[in-house]
Homo-oligomer: A and B are copies of this chain.
Amino acid sequence: MFKYEVLKQHSHSSARLGVITTPHGNIETPAFMPVGTQATVKSLSPEELKTCGAQIILGNTYHLYLRPGHEIVQALGGLHRFMNWDKPILTDSGGFQVFSLNKLAKVTEEGVTFKSHIDGSTHIFSPEHAIKVQQALGADIIMTFDEPMPYPAEKSAVEKSLNLSTRWAERCKVAHAKEAQALFGIVQGGMFEDLRTASAQQIVEIDFPGYAIGGLSVGEDIETMHEMAAFTAPLLPRNKPRYLMGVGTPKDLLVCSGMGIDMFDCVMPTRNARNGSMFTSQGKLNIKNNKYRTDASPLDPECDCYTCRNYSRAYLRHLFIADEIFALRLNTLHNIAFYQNWMQKIRRAIREDLPFDFSWTNDPKADSEMSSS
């Protein structure tokens, strides 16, 4: 049921137009996946996500395991049915959250012991358990369980960790063997080229239907992130989808698509929206700003999303200042639509073989502003 096909190679970069086939439909790539941590992309309905152009969303295994529990989701027909989303879903393995939300997580060869951020209860995640939980959730694409490293980290520690992650990836593949879901491997190796090479060789050797680049966008500067992604992408097979985890700004998506990355996810559009920080063709727009108090124009005059078609900046500012729930909906809808429109523009450029010489904004300061928000 899982298939990836390259439709067109960009002559101006390493970007490729592709299509991923899953049991819940196709995904045109390069694609951006909105994050639906707790079985909902915060504030939006599934229908709204579709009108924004979202083709696939991401669910967080760590969160859903703790609440409501993977067995409950399974008993209710799986994550698709539970949340009323009939298109593809990707779940991460929980590895990242186990560490980022639990500073005292304890790692052994067997797995990770950690405490719930909700009630402090103790849990153990092993590669086998992470697969079992993801099988219960029933996403179309699932991820191997690995150990993300903090940044910066000593090279020896990164090396030790990536070797553990390789052994865990092997165990994940064994645990997963009989299932129809596509299991992606994850390349680690921190900011060290030789370790990225070693990790990529080991993970590709295990053989997965798709590969992710993990351990980036974890505190390093943007240039380093771009360099490491550019170094790692070509180490991965051309005939498999490549997923850059946790990235990024619109500019990151363009630059990294040009490296041959096919899939992205990031909380930036949704989280920024809930803080009133909006992506527009004119750059970053902070809807709280007093200057929008009487502004009758739409958030982004070049956008045709529901928010921009029907509401003024003045109304959006009013709702936000008044702490209204509808503000979060309208803002989130626009930022997701903006990201999806942007990916569509990237895909069109590849299809028509046009150079990646365009920008998401006419504000030259926008990229640095957005990446620091």
A: which residues have CB within 8 A of B?
38-40, 42-45, 67-68, 72, 75-77, 82-84, 293-294, 296, 310-312, 314-315, 317-319, 321-322, 324-326, 328-329
Contact = CB atoms under 8 A, between A and B. Distances in A.
Contact of A294 (B72, B83, B312, B321): B72
A67 B322 contact: yes
B294 A42 contact: no
Contacts of A45: 326, 329
A254 to B, nearest CB: 30
Tallying the copies of this chain within the complex gives 2
A310 B46 CA distance: 10
A332 to B, nearest CB: 9
Interface of chain A: mostly helix, strand, loop or mixed = loop
A314 B76 CA distance: 8
Contacts of A83: 315
A68 B83 CA distance: 36
Contact of A326 (B40, B296, B318, B326): B40
Contacts of A72: 293-294, 314, 318
A26 B119 CA distance: 52
Given A84-B311, A325-B328, A329-B325, A319 B40 contact: yes
B42 A312 contact: no
A82 B315 contact: yes
A48 to B, nearest CB: 9
B40 A312 contact: no
A315 B293 CA distance: 38
B312 A38 contact: no
Given A38-B322, A325-B328, A75 B294 contact: yes
Contacts of A312: 76, 82
